[in-house]
Structure 1
Amino acid sequence: MARKKKKQLKMPAIIVGFLLILVGFVFSLMSLTDPVGNNSPLARQEDENMTKQEFIDRLLPHAEELQEGYGILPSVIIGQAILESNWGTSQLAHEYNNLFGIKAYGDQDKVNLETKEYVNEQWITIKGDFRVYNSWEESMDDHTMLFVNGVDWNPQKYEEVLTAQNYEQAAEALQEAGYATDPGYADKVKEVIENYQLDQYD
């Protein structure tokens, strides 16, 4: 007499559903622990959404370290960063971490972007090579070392910026040294510093 085949028990639907939920939960945990790269859209969005005070607070600790090491005033560092990068939102600052519009030379890491220059009493748009940095702190370091070391053809080019006793003197020294082609650059730096009371950090 042939034995009857045992009927295979079907897994209850509730268990299948539970397993699917469990798998989904594991994948969600993995995505949470995956670090976001500095160049990812999420990381860039955080920079874009900074308030003005958050931007100042972001730069202040390193600006104070640079003052302690080299004497440059934090108000000047932060004021220039605000003016040059539009609070960190310019393409150069946002995508390439260059807060100060520092140009690139030779084999330095660089990006070619449009920029405005004041030439022959008028504003023109040109293409220029700009430094690319790994972080805003690295950009701040290079900015300070430009003042410390000057340029190849004039190592003392920015000496008066370092020896300035206050932000007014430093801003005028920047103008006289030709940091920017804008004839109103010194006044703009001072205006930013005064509007946001950056001299309180000096």
Structure 2
Amino acid sequence: MEEFKTRGQRRRFQTLEKRRKLVSGAAVVGTGLAIAPVALTLPGTQVEAAEYNYQQADAAQSLINQIGSTASQIAAANDLYASVMIAQALLESGNGGSTLSQAPYYNLFGVKGYSDSNPVYLATQEYLDGQWVTMNEPFQTYNSYWESIQEHANVLKSTSFASGTAHYSGAWKSNTSSYQDATAYLTGRYATDPSYGSKLNYLISAYGLTQYDTPSTGATTTTTEVSTSVSATTTTTDSSNSSSTGGSYTVVAGDSLWGIASKYGISVDQLMANNGLTSDVIMIGQQLSV
């Protein structure tokens, strides 16, 4: 029996079930999915809805520090954007503050546990029929963040509802020109939230997550959009290669607006305003007023 790995898969199934008025246990024609086991029949731990909380935004950097290197390695090995995966982890886990994302569960991406022998039950919100609905769902548990990130990569690479067609192939680096293409593709497919992509883009920009991305081996990378074309390992030498003079700064490989703003103790908004920027795209050699 097929299992639902993401909220988007669950949502698509429920929509098809409603439209076609299928009875429980009937297969969904053309999707490769079947009715999932009824949640109440699965053993697991019940967690109160109130425990599924989010920490303040300042916890985000702590989680990034914990998973950044692992995400970069796993993403590079799977033709994926580490920046997108980290942003998904931040969004799905509430900056690492949700019960589900913490020990002993380590589930960063909200992966459902329909086939897990010992899932944990949590209240979660799903976007159904144009409104948010709270549902009690079983979620998978892991032994570490590494396991959670690795399985997430497996989901993005191997999920298929039709023979020979990878469901999330539009989010792979080799099939995109930037992380924005990947986040746009995931919206409505991986998650039901219609603003999912814009939320991921904000997190990637705000926390300079493109520093964890490595170049695609299957597509041509650009030299102007530094945030999507440089290796994460390059950032280790930024401090020795960067240059600043008084109130100006020269952009080097691996830089991001967030990183530069943090270095000079100003906000990203202020840095953008100082330089008349309307996006987070910066170029090597560009002079910025700080």
TM-score computed with the length of structure 1 as normaliser: 0.70
The structure showing larger relative contact order (alpha-carbon pairs under 8 Å, at least 6 residues apart) is 1
SS of match in other structure, 1:101: coil
Equivalent position to 1:105, from 108, 114, 130 = 114
2:200 match: 189
Q: Report the Cα offset of residue 62 of structure 1.
A: 0.8
Aligned twin of 2:84: 76
Give, as a single letter, the amino acid of the residue that structure 1 aligns with 2:96. G
Query: Max radius of gyration: which structure?
Result: 1
1:157 pairs with one of 167, 179, 186: 167
Deviations 1:79-100 (CA, angstroms, capped at 9, x unpaired):
1001110111101101411000
Report the CA distance shift for 1:164/1:104 in structure 2 as closer, same or farther (over 3 A).
farther
Q: 2:28 corresponds to which residue?
A: none
Name the SS for the 2:80 alignment partner. coil
Q: Which of 119, 125, 133 is the matching residue for 2:128?
A: 119
Between the aligned partners of 1:76 and 1:173, the Cα distance in structure 2 is: 11
Q: Would the aligned equivalents of 2:124 and 2:134 in 1 still touch at CA under 8 Å? A: yes
Q: CA deviation at 1:107?
A: 4.1
Q: Distance in 2 between matches of 1:108 and 1:69?
A: 29
Unaligned runs of 5+ in 1: 1-47
Distance across 2 between alignment mates of 1:148 and 1:186: 19
Q: Hey, which of these two has a bigger chunk of helix by percent?
A: 1
Secondary structure in structure 2 of the residue aligned to 1:89: coil
Moved more, 49-58 or 155-164: 49-58
State the 4+ residue runs in structure 1 displaced beyond 2 angstroms: 48-54, 105-109, 151-155
- Kindly tell me the number of residue pairs found equivalent between the two proteins: 154
SS of the residue 2:191 aligns to = coil
Question: Could you tell me how far 1:153 is from its partner in structure 2?
Answer: 5.5
Q: With structure 2 as the length reference, what TM-score do the two structures score?
A: 0.50
CA spacing shift, 1:180–1:148, aligned 2, 3 Å: same
